[in-house]
Chain A
Amino acid sequence: MRLSALWPGGFAVFFLVAVVGGSLLTVVLQFRDSNLVEVLSDTYLHSVIRFTLWQAMLSTLLSVGLALPVARAYARQSHFFGRHTLVMLMGLPVVMPVIVAVLGIVSIYGHNGVINQLLRVTGVAPAFNIYGLSGILLAHVFFNLPLAVRLLLPAWEQIPGESWRLANTLGMSSSQLFRFIEWPSLTSFLPGTLVIIFLLCFTSFAVVLTLGGGPNATTVEVAIYQTLRFDFDPARATLLALIQLALCATIALAMIRWLRALPISQGLQLQTKDRPDCQALTYRIQDAVLIVASTLFIGLPIAAIVVAGLQGPILGVILDPVLWQATGRSLGIALLATSLASLVALGLAMTARRLVLEYRKPQATDIALWVGSLTLAVPPMVIGTGLFLWVLMTDMPQMTTLLLIALVNALMVLPYALRSIAPVLINSGRHYHRLCQQLGLEGWMRFRLIDWPAIRRPVAFAAGLGGALSFGDMGVAALFDTSGAITLPVMLYYRMSAYRFDEAAVTALVLVLISVLVFWLLNRTLGRWPS
């Protein structure tokens, strides 16, 4: 095996190991007074781990389980008015700052939410209480169902028109279509989706505390925050982070190994109009119900956020130059983080493809996706602390702050980028590998002429999502000096901590609108960027 062939992935892996491992190591070396045995035998930690696993499993099953029929409905009804907008709306919840989303959810589903108020007035059913496990699950489905739909939809786009026509000739029923045509395509998308959503739910923090109703609902991430912030025991926090990483790595591996990707037939026409079951009235009604129900479930809390924002002091907030400076900084961070994540994802995917096609190592795809997803299991607080110590020890100037925030955000965006890019890049390789070898196309030329047109749309989607995600992320920004260089989410949070909830509502609306804009712009421009 020529080592030089592996450099893009090697470089990406080196980068990940250097940032994650390096920052964890820095913390441990600086404060090495924690006892592993004592940490591992802590019964409080055991109960926290049990609860974290339990809620993450349930949340993942619910989110993905509900997303499957919804995604299928969208795939089946590929042309209706507003479809594009609705699919884009699906990208929104996951990029919203948690506190904004939680207040939106509560406005609809809370004690005093719209639904409970209606129930009280009409007396149809007793009012319900969301605080507790139900609240956690509701919020996690709100965040992750739409994400799962977005991540699973490409599975249908991979199915060639020939397959549908064949199914038509054979007179397949809807369930047979699912079993013989859709499921094989889904097998290469489901594991990655499950992994990402499981990791997001496992590491969930503010949602779990706020909607969980009490200290029974505590995740490992809460314990890490507590250890680092109030108990100030960085070594112990790092140990907890490693425990979390090990648990997540094991479960993610199990999820990836559980579903083997089935081979799917290749074809040239990617269209669904030949699907036998997309015209039948029963299925159209069924799809309509699913699409409307899921849109309401996700759309109502977002509408509540918009309404709250419109009721606030709009002019005062948007005429404030500080808001736009913060927006500028947030955009800079988002662009940097997304570019970095896309480059690393591309490197990993390229090398995985070489390993699969030239060296017959089919498991390389799984490993690349696995490694690239695990960055979600690393607590940003611990990484941030490690990076902060680096800056301190090397006397780097304070201006590196924004770069560091971008770096941590890039780690967070990487899994989405990888998940969108890798399967398509590897598929394109399967199609054109022989042809490229015959024509002697390689390197940059091959990337430009063959790969870019194929991965353009997934790259655009990942960049859009990543851009919006790190734009709206509070994450580690608050760890560093925020007095001058605040980002938009930090600004929103500060308004809230100064009683300015009405101004915060307007800021939240601005943030949501710009997130949509970032997503739309990146999706548009990159998705059509000619090679």
Chain B
Amino acid sequence: MIFLRKLAGLAASLPILVLPTAQAAVPQLTVYTYASFVSEWGPGPLIEQAFEKHCNCDLKFVGLEDGGALLSRLKLEGKRTAADVILGLDTALTGEAEQTGLLQEHNITLGSINLALPWSDLLFVPYDFGYFGFVYDSETLPTPPGSLEELVHDRDGPRIIIQDPRTSTPGLGLLLWMRKVFGTDDQAAWTALAPRIVTVTKGWSEAYGLFLKGEAPMVLSYTTSPAYHRQVEQNNRYQVAMFSEGHYRQVEVAARLSTSSEPQLAQNFLRFLLSDTVQNILPTTNWMLPSVRTGQGLPDAFRDEEVPERMLQFDSLEVRDQRKQWISRWLIALSR
């Protein structure tokens, strides 16, 4: 009986464990995003504070596992979705997101904004971007390869850890990068690289964790990763290898939903993302490059020589149509 009473006590205490769902008097704007955006180290809390100061609204972030989870949640919910804005898709996923027919044009004149990248899409607003790159440990690897070509074909080159394109965004990024550089010879390139791939992980965290444990001198990450180590850890040990062919670019975007009951507020939020306020928050919280050139410029930890001179990128519709085929080519090449 004591047990039952304890159970009842537990059940009664449950609602406390759950977020309050009280109705707000002001309009609410629901933004679906990926989890690290809203974590206490991410830009989410700062953006929420800044936006709510002026919008007379309640901004509510819903954090999902990653960009892939974001898109599948949208497809799962369809027209029932509670989201007004979806934030955090990247250019490898926008083609598929467009196909859902759930998105509405942003109607923002991007021409008047000093964008750091050429952009004219009518649905998606680019809030930041980055380049995939191989981060290396300068203590164990004094001279990294200078190009993707060298990484792939130098038999005595460094061993690397990469992510799986079937389960992770950077993994897919490398697949596209290789395709861009080697074209239809991509399979031969993968086969040549295979002996030096220590392992292929499910996601970025596993790969980077193994790299920090010293399991390989190089890991697939972002060109902005060293900036984190410099800024937060005052550590200059981890560097990024700049490749002469250029680096594959990932643009992170946001869009509003046609089912939203707050289209104006959603548009205001999208415009706010491109404001100097948000753009100055993003570099040191999301560790990506701001898509707008702000008066303040980049923080010191970010270095010009770590911004690739050449940008590589496929059209998002091409990625949508070819992704499955390219992944099976990758599977065949690495399974030999």
Contact = CB atoms under 8 A, between A and B. Distances in A.
B72 A232 contact: yes
Contacts of B3: 529
B35 A482 contact: yes
B199 A332 contact: no
A482 B14 contact: no
A502 to B, nearest CB: 9
B18 interface: yes
Given A102-B206, A106-B210, A481 B64 contact: yes
Contacts of B167: 209, 222, 225-226, 229-230
A478 B38 contact: no
B330 A232 contact: no
B229 to A, nearest CB: 8
Given A103-B210, A397-B21, A402 B35 contact: no
Given A481-B63, A493-B205, A213 B198 contact: yes
19 contacts: A44-B331, A99-B209, A103-B213, A110-B214, A111-B214, A210-B202, A213-B198, A213-B200, A214-B199, A228-B72, A229-B167, A232-B72, A234-B76, A332-B13, A332-B17, A392-B76, A481-B64, A497-B204, A499-B225
Interface of B is mostly: helix
Contacts of B21: 397-399
B287 to A, nearest CB: 7
Contacts of B216: 111
A215 B62 contact: no
B213 A209 contact: no
A484 B19 contact: yes
B152 to A, nearest CB: 16
B202 A483 contact: no
A514 to B, nearest CB: 16
Interface string B207-220: 01110111110000
The 5 closest A-B pairs by CB, nearest first: A112-B214, A483-B63, A496-B205, A399-B18, A484-B19
Interface of A: 44, 47, 99, 102-103, 106-107, 110-112, 131, 205-206, 209-216, 222, 225-226, 228-232, 234, 322, 328-329, 332, 335-336, 339, 385, 388-389, 392, 397-399, 401-403, 478-479, 481-485, 490, 493-501, 529
Contacts of A229: 68-69, 72, 167
Contact of B62 (A131, A399, A483, A529): A483
Contacts, number: 166
Interface of B: 3, 7, 10, 13-15, 17-19, 21, 35-36, 38-42, 44, 61-65, 68-69, 71-72, 75-77, 80, 96, 164, 166-167, 172, 194, 197-206, 208-210, 212-216, 225, 228-229, 232, 287, 324, 328, 330-331, 334-335
Contacts of B334: 214-216
Contact of A111 (B63, B68, B75, B198): B198
B31 to A, nearest CB: 10
A210 B287 contact: no
B71 A232 contact: yes
A399 B19 contact: yes
B69 A479 contact: yes
Contacts of B208: 496, 499, 501
Contacts of B212: 501
A477 to B, nearest CB: 10
A106 B215 contact: yes
B204 A106 contact: no
Contacts of A385: 76
Contact of B335 (A103, A216, A322, A398): A216
